[in-house]
Structure 1
């Protein structure tokens, strides 16, 4: 090879490298949509952090069934209760980021646990790819029919007459129900005893059976039992009366303005999932939330459908940090 050929070969090789890189990049760009369109090609697991029978399970199974119909692949519900959603969250965080593990996360996972525990086996901001919220659910004060109180005002009077004696159940330590009770005690000057359960189903069984006099659940999980008169609802923890239950007064209107507690559910995946799959699951979530039968199902459950983009989802979480953080700080609550 002469000097002139050598000089020409250097630029030619560099040009070839640039062209090859561009072709590879273009192939990758076009592969992302193709990946999203072909997904899923095998069953998808949807991890739910509570046992069957509660509000989280009802919402998750509704979306899983619709995803299965649309995708032609089974979306298998995997209930993994324990440690106020920490068990399910850790399992999700450690899963492969390939789109075949989804997680119905909750306010407890993304907000409450971060505020309450100094050390968690997952990073709420870094371990998950946010996809979309699905629902927002108001909390309520449900009581056994034998409880000698039929309103929030009467409950406050009863709790003050029995300091440290009246107990209330929640779906777990650090759950939104637990924090609803903490905030209630703080704002009303009462002192109730918290009884944590591993999910809504067990707590509801004990409430109906009279083992606990009071339970702070979502309206979603307690509404069927209220309609059958197995329990009574003393008040709802919304800023104003909920259109699904206009006859139920709010805690705020009973003399405690600013009292509000809800929870929400949303779909996330392990961090690192391909963007095309995020977009596919997001689009399907938004579509399902607009289906008439899903709207009716959620209305019956008392869950308000709420979808958003991953960026909007993140902003919603940050807002909750500020709101719930005030209640946790006021109570000096830590669970390590």
Structure 2
């Protein structure tokens, strides 16, 4: 009887080993991530600040040669076209998106989106901060933020500020300034940063809250005068220029941030691996130098920190969007 039991146990063990073998073999054949090119969607056109940062980051991440990062421009509807596509992509780590502060603005700006700003994405990491800078024509009589505020209060509605378009960070940073300074200045939307800055330099626009990446060359050439930056701390690219907070409005803080998202459901180990790669890229001296040349500052975070930050930004910017009265598509 003992022999028959032993024989049964051996037979059962053998059958279990044979059943487990294919699964183990299949698992061992799974390709190591990443095993093919990663697509990094930029929801804006080539040459935009988002595009420039994506190419700096992507080229560094792929520098080892084990995989490629392909930048894919999908502009349209304030970045929502690209975001919609990524929200619906397979959560396998091979489709990512580099979003800007506009991602948080759009949550309130658009009454209907093709995705949920929070639930449909897995935050990977913040990447960079690009301060906006309040600029005027180099020949302007305004030498400081206080000069602008005094003039605006003396003649309400007479001054104007240009932006890259309604609902953009260049628009909302101006609207936040209006709210906190208690002034009435007229918003003039353009179809891009370049056109808006051209009119400020020509004297047709009074001022603009422009991205440092776009304004710095003209400030250095003496075509624009920088009055203040929008971030809580001074920009390393413009260390002599005060913040709006330092200029009499301590509660003012507008940060044009950028960060990487993956589709919701992307495995945690892949998100963590991407976070580590982004952190490695941002810590390299050549990337930091290239970012600094664009007026950007590296800003890595954990996935959890980025998730909390997005939620906070949505809450902070929602009342600014509502009070401005801006509507999607204007």
Is TM (by shorter chain) over 0.5?
yes
- CA gap of 1:320–1:231, structure 2 versus 1, over 3 A, is same
Counterpart CA distance in 2 for 1:199 and 1:74 is 30
Alignment of 1:34-73 (within 5 A): 34-36=31-33, 39-41=34-36, 43-73=37-67
- CA gap of 1:96–1:185, structure 2 versus 1, over 3 A, is same
Which secondary structure state, in structure 1, belongs to the residue aligned with residue 310 of structure 2?
Answer: helix
Match among 314, 320, 327 for residue 327 of structure 1: 320
Mean CA deviation greater in 315-324 or 206-215: 206-215
Give, in angstroms, the shift of residue 199 of structure 1: 4.0
Alignment of 1:1-336 (within 5 A): 20=19, 24=23, 28=27, 34-36=31-33, 39-41=34-36, 43-109=37-103, 111-328=104-321, 331=323, 333=325, 335=327
Give, in angstroms, the shift of residue 123 of structure 1: 0.9
Which secondary structure state, in structure 2, belongs to the residue aligned with residue 253 of structure 1?
Answer: coil
Kindly provide the CA deviation profile for residues 229-256 of structure 1, in whole angstroms up to 9, marking residues without a partner as x: 2222111123343344232122222222
Is the Cα–Cα contact under 8 Å of residues 89 and 95 in structure 2 kept in the other structure? yes
Give, in angstroms, the shift of residue 23 of structure 1: 7.5
Is the Cα–Cα contact under 8 Å of residues 53 and 201 in structure 1 kept in the other structure? no
Counterpart CA distance in 1 for 2:182 and 2:262 is 41
Give, in angstroms, the shift of residue 319 of structure 1: 2.3
Counterpart CA distance in 1 for 2:20 and 2:98 is 39
Give, in angstroms, the shift of residue 136 of structure 1: 1.7
- Partner residue, 1:3: none
With the length of structure 1 as denominator, give the TM-score of the two structures.
0.82
**Unpaired segments ≥5 residues, structure 1:** 1-7
Give, in angstroms, the shift of residue 269 of structure 1: 2.1
Kindly provide the CA deviation profile for residues 136-174 of structure 1, in whole angstroms up to 9, marking residues without a partner as x: 222221222243312111111222334323222223322
Which secondary structure state, in structure 2, belongs to the residue aligned with residue 180 of structure 1?
Answer: helix
**Unpaired segments ≥5 residues, structure 2:** 1-7
Is the Cα–Cα contact under 8 Å of residues 175 and 324 in structure 2 kept in the other structure? no
Give, in angstroms, the shift of residue 73 of structure 1: 4.2
Give, in angstroms, the shift of residue 209 of structure 1: 4.3
Counterpart CA distance in 1 for 2:106 and 2:58 is 26
Is the Cα–Cα contact under 8 Å of residues 167 and 326 in structure 2 kept in the other structure? no
Counterpart CA distance in 2 for 1:164 and 1:292 is 46
With the length of structure 2 as denominator, give the TM-score of the two structures.
0.84
Kindly provide the CA deviation profile for residues 271-307 of structure 1, in whole angstroms up to 9, marking residues without a partner as x: 3334444333222111100111111122232222111
Give, in angstroms, the shift of residue 135 of structure 1: 0.7
- CA gap of 1:73–1:188, structure 2 versus 1, over 3 A, is same
Which secondary structure state, in structure 2, belongs to the residue aligned with residue 260 of structure 1?
Answer: coil
